[in-house]
Amino acid sequence: MNQSIIVVKLGGTDGVDFSAICKDAAELLKQNIQLVLVHGGSAEANSLGEALGAPPKFITSPSGYTSRYTDRKTLEIFVMAVNGKINTLLVEQLQMLGINALGLSGLDGKLMQATRKDSIQSIENGKRKIIRDDYTGKIECVNTELLQTLLAGGYLPVIAPMAVSEKGEALNVDGDRAAAMVSSALKAEALILLTAVPGLI
């Protein structure tokens, strides 16, 4: 019989209590449920960017949608904050609870492949501008086999919201979509999206 799989997305804003979630994860694993965690990291990336003199910038599309402008410098900051600090320290917290966690980003083993637009349009002060150095993407597929191999080996995958482009570039991707795509690829029984709840910590 296949074990049930649950995918949990941890929000990237301040206020999510990772330690409580890690303890809940330990309880679920005792009930023979397989888990995959997907995390965000926008707050950490913003504060690292500010500390390094590169505060976050945002793009507003002609249709009014606002997203983080990820030029190469911002991408490197995002990598450090999200794939470095948040992912590693989450794996550490889980290891300290006796859970054999394993951190990955979507670049690792092409875990999440995404399309990157060659250029995007932005509206600045009412004027239309073309941006060509934005490293964001939309996840199109997940390496299900890699996740299944890790789950079968008894590991708990902890996934950072980055993907690999067709050319092999690192891309910043939406964490909620990452969690949804992983959940769908694994035919997970449940996808749980946790966002910051004031007062939780």
Q: Among 170, 173, 182, 186, which residue interacts with a copy of itself (rule: CB under 8 A)?
A: 170
Choices 10-18, 60-68, 83-91, 179-187 (CB under 8 A): range interacting with a copy of itself: 83-91
Binding of residue 164 to a copy of itself (CB under 8 A): yes
Spatial neighbors of 107 by CB under 8 A, at least 6 apart, are 162, 163, 164, 170
Burial (CB count <10 Å: 0-12, 13-18, 19+), residue 188: buried
Binding of residue 97 to a copy of itself (CB under 8 A): yes
Q: Among 3, 19, 66, 149, which residue interacts with a copy of itself (rule: CB under 8 A)?
A: 149
Binding of residue 177 to a copy of itself (CB under 8 A): no
Q: Among 30, 128, 132, 167, which residue interacts with a copy of itself (rule: CB under 8 A)?
A: 167
Choices 60-68, 96-104, 123-131, 182-190 (CB under 8 A): range interacting with a copy of itself: 96-104
Partnered with residue 105 across adjacent β-strands are 160
**Which 51-70 residues touch a copy of itself, going by CB under 8 A?**
51-52
60-68 LR contacts (CB < 8 Å, sep 24+): 60/122, 60/123, 60/124, 61/120, 61/121, 61/122, 61/123, 62/121, 62/123, 62/128, 67/136, 68/42, 68/136, 68/172
| 103 versus 175: smaller Cβ distance to a copy of itself | 103
